[in-house]
Every structure is written in structure tokens, then in C-alpha cells.
Amino acid sequence: MNEHPFSAFIDLISLDQQIRTMHQTITNLKQETESQLSEKQKIVDRLEQFKQHVHDLKKSVHEQELAIKELDALEKQKKETLENLKSAKEYQPLKKEIDRLKQEQHDAESSLMTTWNKLETAQKELNEQTAQYSSKIDEFHTAIAEQQEKVEALKADLAQKKSERPAKETGIPQEWLDKYSHMKMQVEDPVVSLLDDSCSACYYNLPNQDIIRLRHRAIVQCKGCFRLLYMQTAMEDTPSEESAGNKE
């Protein structure tokens, strides 16, 4: 009877530790998913920007080609006027204008070449990025789906463990439960064993009267860190005459 409440108590603590670990794992998985979603968004945005860049270059090529055609038409028209010229006085200014148009055309063509080259490079890079993009996005989707699956499984386990908890409290002295539920909020290991007459968590040296109580399988609160202490050897022993007598 004496050994029973303690092992039930240890069971409860280990259940709580499992629950705590599950909570932590769920939180970590959710954080991982969050960070992957934001990484994925960055890749989506980067590709969108790149597509826009290629689109702008195409538009620019188109506009420059139109401008060159207009210059062509204008030059042709001026040349025709020049051929049918009646007065010699008009020849020089018209010749000058045709030369200017030729120069303008030449400049526009070299600028178009530059834009074409830029477009070619950008298009090539976009193709490469699009190929990489798909496989990267697939990787994210797979990882996120796996994380969600794990979270769902953990949530089911967690609900199961939590439902087991009330039954695990039966047979444990209320005093232990009260002290434990208070300490549980503050430290991850609210119940620790004694180590060479000291608390194994904070190394506080226990007074003799506490050691004696611990030998009698009592749970004692450490005055150094307020954790609950027990003596491993006393708890492992089969109940002796002394402790059986002590109980009455």
C-alpha cells in the first residue's frame, strides 16, 4: 500500500512529461511549417519579379521596334521628297534632315540590340529559375504535408494521454498532487530524487529530519528550489516493518 501511491505518482509525472514533450513537438513543427511557408513565399515573389522583368524587356523591345519602323517610314518619305525636289535651295536642309534620321535610326538599332541581349539573358535565367522553382515548391509542399500529418497524429495522441490523466491521479495523496501541480508550472522536472543527501537539482543539503522522513518514503519539498524530493532506494525497497508501522 505504501509503495503504490509513489509509483502511481511517478507514472503521473512521466505521463505529464510525455504530454509536455508532445506539446513542444507540436509547437516546433508548427514553427517549422511557418518558416517554410515564408521561404516558399519568397521564392514565389522572386519568380514573379523575374517574370515581370522579362515582360518589361519584351515590351521595351516591341516599342523600340515600332520607333525604328516609324523612323524608316519617315526617312523613305523624305528621300522621295528629295528625289522630286524642284528647287535646289531646299536640297541642303532636307539632306541634313535625312542624315539626322539615319543617325537616329542607327542609335535606336544599337539600343534595341542591347535590350535584345538583356532579354535573351533574362529569358534564359527565367527558364532555369522556373525549372528550379517547381522542384523547390514541390519540396516545400511535401515537407509541409509531412509536418501537418505529424501534428495531426500528435494531437490525437495528446488527446488520448490527456484522457488517461484523471485516472492516473487516483491513489495519490492530495498533498502530493497539490504541491506537484503548483511546481509543474514553474519547472520542467518538478519531482527529483535525492543525491547524497542533497537535492539532485539544486544541490541543497537536506537537514537530518528531512532525510529521516525521506527514508520513510515521504515526499519532501526542497527548501532550495521547492522541487519535490524522494529517496530512490527507500521507494524501491519493499515496505519494511518500520514503514508499515510508521503508516499507522
Measured from the CB atom, the residue of 199 and 231 that comes closer to Zn ion is 199
Print the SS3 string covering the chain.
CCHHHHHHHHHHHHHHHHHHHHHHHHHHHHHHHHHHHHHHHHHHHHHHHHHHHHHHHHHHHHHHHHHHHHHHHHHHHHHHHHHCCCCHHHHHHHHHHHHHHHHHHHHHHHHHHHHHHHHHHHHHHHHHHHHHHHHHHHHHHHHHHHHHHHHHHHHHHHHHHHHHHHHHCCCCCHHHHHHHHHHHCCCCCCEEEEECCEECCCCCECCHHHHHHHHCCCCEECCCCCCEEECHHHHHCCCCHHHHHHHC
Measured from the CB atom, the residue of 115 and 221 that comes closer to Zn ion is 221
Query: Minimum Å distance from CB 212 to Zn ion?
Result: 18
Query: Minimum Å distance from CB 232 to Zn ion?
Result: 15
Query: Minimum Å distance from CB 11 to Zn ion?
Result: 23
Query: Minimum Å distance from CB 196 to Zn ion?
Result: 13
Measured from the CB atom, the residue of 131 and 202 that comes closer to Zn ion is 202
- Rounded to whole angstroms, the Cα distance separating 53 from 45 reads 12
Rg (CA), the chain: 42
- Rounded to whole angstroms, the Cα distance separating 79 from 61 reads 27
Measured from the CB atom, the residue of 224 and 239 that comes closer to Zn ion is 224
Contact positions vs Zn ion (CB under 5 A)? 199, 201-202, 204, 222, 224-225
Query: Minimum Å distance from CB 153 to Zn ion?
Result: 37
Answer whether 229's CB lies under 8 Å from 193's CB. yes
Measured from the CB atom, the residue of 57 and 201 that comes closer to Zn ion is 201
Measured from the CB atom, the residue of 142 and 205 that comes closer to Zn ion is 205
Query: Minimum Å distance from CB 223 to Zn ion?
Result: 8
Query: Minimum Å distance from CB 221 to Zn ion?
Result: 9
Measured at CB, which residue is nearest to Zn ion?
199
Measured from the CB atom, the residue of 47 and 206 that comes closer to Zn ion is 206
